[in-house]
Amino acid sequence: MSWHLFAVFFASTFFISATPGPNMLLAFQYGMNYGVKRTLWTLAGLSLGLFILLLSTLLGLDAISRQSPWLLTVIKAAGAAYLIYLGISSWRDAGEGSLMNDAREMGEEVAADYPDTIESVNDKNTPQPRSLSSAAVRVSPSNSTLFRTGIWVSLSNPKAILFFAAFFPKFINFSAPLWPQYILLTVGLFLSETIWQIIYTLGGKKLASWLNVSNRLAWLNRACGVIFLLIAVALLVEVLNGFMV
């Protein structure tokens, strides 16, 4: 992988990571209610879950590239179709809802699906966190619970594997040594995700207010949609060139 291609990969992932997906919304919600220091446990869990999904994807692509090269072409074509779908969806659905509402819904999902984040609140002397927007944040859970919740939320998004499988082949040269490229891709993705998770954790309401003004969140989603479409076109070009050789 050339440094130019890595720069394109990092710029793309950095921009895409800025969109408020499940991981970012959880970091945002917990950062507001538990503070930055406590939420670091959740960020560690999110990173571990992301690493497991990423490793699964890269090992799968590695095995396919060595044993069934023709299947890799199929994956590229299917990945391009999926990215086109994501691009159109991102553009069409841009601006629906608000970051604050999405974060509340994320907290409610965690409360419903991961009930050990909730502890008894019958004691009136129990100090309450800053926001009571969802049952999941009524009291401060233990560090281990915060860590496990981060892992669960990250792993509960199987679409991530599909996205990685669609996104990564454009940036991997399968005729060159693969593991150095995998390491670069992993470092780039983790750096992008970590930076934005910390921003969402620290930013809290200020970030939500800024994004929800003047349709900024909508334009961010539309820009990501354009990135998806561009990468899809590049993948399709690779597939067509492979048939013409």
Q: Where are the domains of the chain?
A: 3-244
CA distances for 9 relative to 72, 86, 185, angstroms? 19, 17, 8
pLDDT bucket at 97, cuts 50 / 70 / 90: low
CA distances for 57 relative to 12, 18, 102, 169, 186, angstroms? 18, 22, 28, 11, 11
Phi, psi of 24 (to 5 degrees): -70, -40
pLDDT bucket at 126, cuts 50 / 70 / 90: very low
Residue 228 has pLDDT above 90, yes or no: no
pLDDT bucket at 210, cuts 50 / 70 / 90: low
pLDDT digits (tens, 9 = 90+) for 148-174: 888 988 888 767 888 888 888 888 888
